[in-house]
Amino acid sequence: MSIDPAVVENKSPTMSEEEFKAAVQVGNLRKAASIAQQMMKSPGLFEIAVVGESGSGKSSFVNAFLGLADDDIGAAEVGMVETTEWSTIYSHPEYPNVFLWDLPGIGTPHFQSVEHKITDTYLSGYDFFLIVTATRFREIHANLARKIQENAKKFYFVRSKVDQDLGAEKRKPNYSEARTLRQIREDCQAHLQRAGVNDTQVFLLSSWESDKHDFPLLKESLDQELRHAMLQKLLDTSCWTLQEKKTALQKTTRKQADFSGGPGAIPLPGLSLVADMAALMDCMRDYCKDFGLNSDSLSALAEQVGKREEDLKAVIRSPLATDIKIDLVLKLLEKCVGEGVTFLTYFAWSVPVVGALFSAQVSFGTTVFMLDNFISDLAEDTQRVLAKALEGEEKKSRQHHQELNLPVMHGKKPNQSNLSWRQV
């Protein structure tokens, strides 16, 4: 059964992502966190490629992962000869937007060679990879692993059919299952390291015993990857949104500087100081509120995510709205122009005409520079606050999913099950 590629490959933002972006844009961090928490419970589009040589047990692994027997309707075809001739897609048993792709065996005519087919463009079509092998680690696996990491993608190395290895070892004296599994794992890790591939998880399993060895751990780890990918996507969205907001707000600092520089040009000692400080303090407090870094917003956010408000404030490096006082603003201005602020102020007051005009120009430039920096700091602080607020949500979302006690899906959606429209 064929499928419109747009059904699977449409990666435009969902409505929830747009709502999350809109909440960040207006500084409603509590709503942004609430949307993120909901999205973490059901990860968005995520495509997993199952790759390996012919006969490595890829299709059997896919069936075991989906909770299907090899002869169930909709199961991946398995056999003694190469049976996967096309890239075939299967929906995840728990998440409707997550798909497993069973690819033709590496080295077969349908896949050709790693060098020929594993290109940057090809790899970009998948979010995660499971490299499956039933034999010892070979150079073809090293080439594939390196290429995946070069493209900033992640993968797990799956050593399948360990039941056969254990069966063979049982005939030897002093047999130990734990020692045999440890030796297989260490061998895989050693070959990966020699190939220049580090920090990679290795899972040992048997598709005939999906409740034993590393199979449960693989599912749990992959579940964490899904949620982490969703969280990272949201944080990337917030980062770009805050950058756009920063740019827009920095355009408003010129208007504030005009107001600040005007009174500064009047040769009356003290007038510029009073006018500037009052206006700048109000302006800076408004910026804090715009980003959601005021007390009310932070309190609501802390309540939403179940964290202490003090912990959220601890990652903020710029002044809080309640801390914005005259002495603080003076320190920030002083930081922008150094010790010359005192001299320029005296110069403006002691030379009424020339000094005042010069002071007005300096006041404008200093105010713009200080406010631009302040806005930039607020954008970075907001990103840090959101990251802190959503810290640990992967685990909380997983616990929520487990509490629902959802059954494993043995069937698939009519328009998404056992679909093969993309040839490798």
Q: Are 388 and 311 in contact (CB under 8 A)?
A: yes
Q: What's the pLDDT at 194?
A: 83
Region of 164 on the Ramachandran plot (φ > 0 left; ψ -120 to 50 alpha; else beta): alpha
Q: Are 176 and 218 in contact (CB under 8 A)?
A: no
Q: What's the pLDDT at 73?
A: 66
- Give, for 23, the enclosing helix (H) or strand (E): helix 15-25
Q: What is the 3-state secondary structure (H, E, C) of 227-263?
A: HHHHHHHHHHHHHHHHHHHHHHHHCCHHHHHHHHHHH
Please write the tens of the pLDDT for every residue from 363-410.
Answer: 667 777 888 889 999 999 999 999 999 988 766 655 544 443 433 333
Please list the pLDDT of the chain residue by residue as tens digits (424 residues): 223 344 444 444 555 889 999 999 999 999 999 999 888 887 778 899 998 887 778 888 888 888 877 666 666 666 444 444 577 888 887 787 888 888 877 765 555 544 435 555 567 788 899 999 887 777 788 888 888 888 888 899 998 888 888 888 888 888 898 998 998 888 888 888 887 877 778 999 888 888 888 999 998 888 888 888 888 889 999 999 999 999 999 998 877 766 655 444 434 344 344 446 777 888 889 999 999 999 999 999 999 999 999 999 999 998 888 888 878 877 787 777 653 344 344 444 444 444 444 455 456 677 778 888 899 999 999 999 999 999 887 666 555 444 434 333 333 333 333 443 333 3
CA distance 86 to 103: 7
Q: What's the pLDDT at 404?
A: 38
DSSP letters, 323-358, are: G--HHHHHHHHHHHHTTHHHHHHHHHHHSTTHHHHH
Q: What's the pLDDT at 168?
A: 85
With 0.85 as the threshold, say if the pTM is over it.
no
- As given in the structure block, the two tokens for residue 373 are 């920096």
Q: What's the pLDDT at 113?
A: 44
Residue located via tokens 């063979």: 168
Give start-end residues of each CATH 3.40.50.300 domain in the chain.
5-229+405-422
Angle value at C-alpha 323, between 317 and 324, nearest 5 degrees: 100
Q: What's the pLDDT at 387?
A: 95
Domain 5-229+405-422, second-level architecture: 3-Layer(aba) Sandwich (3.40)
Pure H helices in 48-103: 58-66
Residues 5-16: b if buried by 16+ CB within 10 A, e if exposed: eeebeeeeeeee
How far from 36 is each of 238, 299, 347, 390, 423, CA to CA, in Å?
11, 18, 54, 8, 35
CA distance 149 to 129: 10
CA distance 392 to 278: 41
Residues 86-97: b if buried by 16+ CB within 10 A, e if exposed: ebbbbbbbbbeb
DSSP assignment letter at 53:
B
Pure H helices in 26-100: 29-40, 58-66
Q: What's the pLDDT at 64?
A: 84
Reduced to 3 states (helix: H, G, I; strand: E, B; else coil), residue 203 is strand
Q: What's the pLDDT at 88?
A: 82
Q: What's the pLDDT at 77?
A: 67
Pairing of strands 87-91, 154-159: unpaired
User: Which among 119, 108, 161 has a CA at the least distance from the CA of 144?
Assistant: 119
Q: What's the pLDDT at 197?
A: 79
